[in-house]
Structure 1
Amino acid sequence: MLRGLRVAVIHAPDQDGEALIRQLRRIGCQVQAVWPAPIEPPPGIDLVFMNLDHRFQPAKSWAMSEDAPAVVAILEYENPVILKALIVTGVHGVLVKPLRPAGILSTLVLARWLHGYHRRLDSKVRKLEETIKAQRDISKAARILAEVKGVSESDAFETIRNQATRRRISMSEVAASIIGAQDVLKDLSRDE
């Protein structure tokens, strides 16, 4: 699980940074030292350990992008600005200086687990949002169809279901076609 893990250490070359790199290599990680701090996470990295202080506070995009790595912050001190940066950056773990070998492995494992958990939750949320949007579109299309054909909404819903089955496409695709057709007709009637 950890052997071959690609880790970037964003830390000035000093005693703490070197100690962290040595410990990560002992664990079996492929470590890449990065300094100065980049604007974006290094590509192809699974986990980032980064020194977080008043000089370097990465943008929100570090945590928001889909392929963002897990992030562990390294702190020299705590204050309201740094604590806000922890939240904005979306870190998955924290180490406090002076760094010691004890705690690095457990922080790494928990950060990876938390990162994976958040990814799974984000995926579920996206799927639920898509399902809700599809249901709204299907309901809107059923209302449009009911009005145009002069039938009940339940009959219009059945028509949409039958069209989807016959064409072997989703009901939301049929609904999108109906909504799109209505929009085109509205545009045409405005042009006249």
Structure 2
Amino acid sequence: MNIGIKRLFEDLRGTRVIVIHPEGAECSVLVNQLKRFGCRVSTVWPCPPEPPRDSEVIFVLIPAEAGTTHFWSVVDCDAVIVALVEYENPTILKGIIDINAQAVINKPFRPTGILSTLILARANKGYQDRLLVKIKKLEENLRSRREIERAVKILAERHGLTDIQAYEQIRRQATHKRISISELCAVINSASSVLDGLWPIDS
């Protein structure tokens, strides 16, 4: 076994896996193969109302007759999800999308292909998580920029400064107070909103 393949198996060893599928010969094929990889596997059926919290990977059967009403929303689950399907129809395809499955395994299960599917699913999940982190940072940066632009405008208008001068004043104050520029700008904006709300006062 070369180093790359060995590393893949080592990464899987001890992974907590839950298989949501009726017990039987087909389920055993999947469970036994996962155990061969060193995963810690448990089975559940019927599908629980919430994703199991103690799992890293969830293999879940999407039965066509049940629709998708019993499945969880994407935000409910942090685990890698692999959908198990008997065939393809609009209901099952919608279920795959609704649970944000990172991979799909078609029935009947065979030992071959389970490893590659599991590795692909984990890689896809990791990529999605990294994208979400980047998106969150971009949103935070955008909010900070808007706070700064608004605070600079407020300071410039009230003190007759240019935008550059106003920003420099904010930067110096933030350094002096040992807080971030965006934090100080949020305070300035909040104070301005309060002051704006005081006038005019009806007599």
State the one-letter code of the partner of 1:89.
I
CA contact (8 A) 1:5 1:30 kept: yes
Task: Give me the whole-angstrom Cα distance separating, in 2, the residues matched to 1:18 and 1:147.
Answer: 72
Moved more, 32-41 or 104-113: 32-41
- TM-score w.r.t. the length of structure 1 is 0.93
1:145-174 CA-partner distances (Å, limit 9, x unpaired): 111111111111111111111112111101
The match for 2:159 among 141, 149, 159 is: 149
- Is 1:137 aligned with 2:147? yes
Aligned partner of 2:5 in structure 1 is none
Shift of 1:132: 0.9
Identity of aligned residues (%): 44
Structure 1 counterpart of 2:72: 59
Cα deviation digits, residues 33-55 of structure 1 (max 9, x gap)? 11110121101211000001232
The answer for unaligned runs of 5 or more in structure 2 is 1-10
Cα shift at 1:191: 5.5
Query: Do the aligned residues in 2 keep the contact of 1:37 with 1:56 (CA within 8 Å)?
Result: no
Structure 1 gap segments, 5+ residues each: none
CA distance in 1, matches of 2:199, 2:17: 60
TM-score after normalising by structure 2: 0.88
Q: Is the 2:51–2:72 Cα contact (8 Å) retained in structure 1?
A: no
Q: Alignment partner of 1:118: what SS? A: helix
Structure 2: distance between partners of 1:128 and 1:191: 40
Q: How far does the alpha carbon of each residue in 1:93-131 deviate from its partner, in whole angstroms, 9 at most, with x for none?
A: 000000011111111111011101100110011001100
- Partner of residue 4, structure 2: none
Equivalent residue number for residue 45 of structure 2: 35
Decide whether aligned partners of structure 1 residues 46 and 56 sit closer, same or farther in structure 2, where only a CA change above 3 A counts: farther
Per the alignment, residue 75 of structure 1 pairs with 85
Distance 2:25 2:174 in 1: 64
Q: Work out which of the residue numbers 176, 191, 201 in structure 2 matches 1:181.
A: 191
AA paired with 1:143? K
One of 44, 59, 76 as aligned partner of 2:54 = 44
Match of 1:124 in 2: 134
The whole-number CA distance in structure 1 between the counterparts of 2:150 and 2:121 is 43
> What's the CA shift for 1:59?
2.6
Aligned residue for 1:109?
A: 119
